[in-house]
Amino acid sequence: MASVNKVIILGNLGRDPELRHTQAGKAVATLRVATNEAWTDQSGERQERTEWHSIVVWGRQAENCNQYLKKGRSVFVEGRLQTRKWQDREGSDRYTTEIVADRVQFVGGREGATGGGAGDDFSGGGASFGGGDDLAPPPAGDDDIPF
């Protein structure tokens, strides 16, 4: 049976990207992206909820995100959900679910944002999805995850 693991997020950065490198020298950036949902409840009051998403970006695309994205900038992200297991300082198992980006597209502009214009695609592969060594994350071993 076939399955699909596809995530599409359009939101705003809650902080500047954090760029790190694995022991093998591969660039990896983490982004915190907020999406908002608004509705009117049964009493007619307007409600709003913000959902925060952790995004992981690899390779050249990670370096571009670090260079051009700033807090508040709108981004369009396509990728897949991934849950990884890690241990906290007390040795307890913890789990983190994040979006591993295949494509990050910078949308519109915000004051203070540098570089790129509306719709600039810095996925490293133009409009292509996947492909290219810069987009494929390396196998994640416990020693290779920098966060």
Task: Map out the domains of the chain as residue ranges.
Answer: 1-38+47-135
**pTM (whole model) above 0.85:** no
pLDDT recorded at residue 109 = 56
Which positions ≥6 away from 45 have C-beta within 8 Å? none
**pLDDT (tens digit per residue) in 108-120:** 754 444 444 445 5
Q: What is the dihedral of CA 131, 21, 51, 102, to 10 degrees?
A: 0
**pLDDT (tens digit per residue) in 3-34:** 999 999 999 999 999 999 999 999 999 999 99
**pLDDT (tens digit per residue) in 79-127:** 999 999 999 999 999 999 999 999 999 987 544 444 444 455 544 433 2
2 HSE (CA, 13 A, CB side): 1
The CATH superfamily label for domain 1-38+47-135 reads Nucleic acid-binding proteins (2.40.50.140)
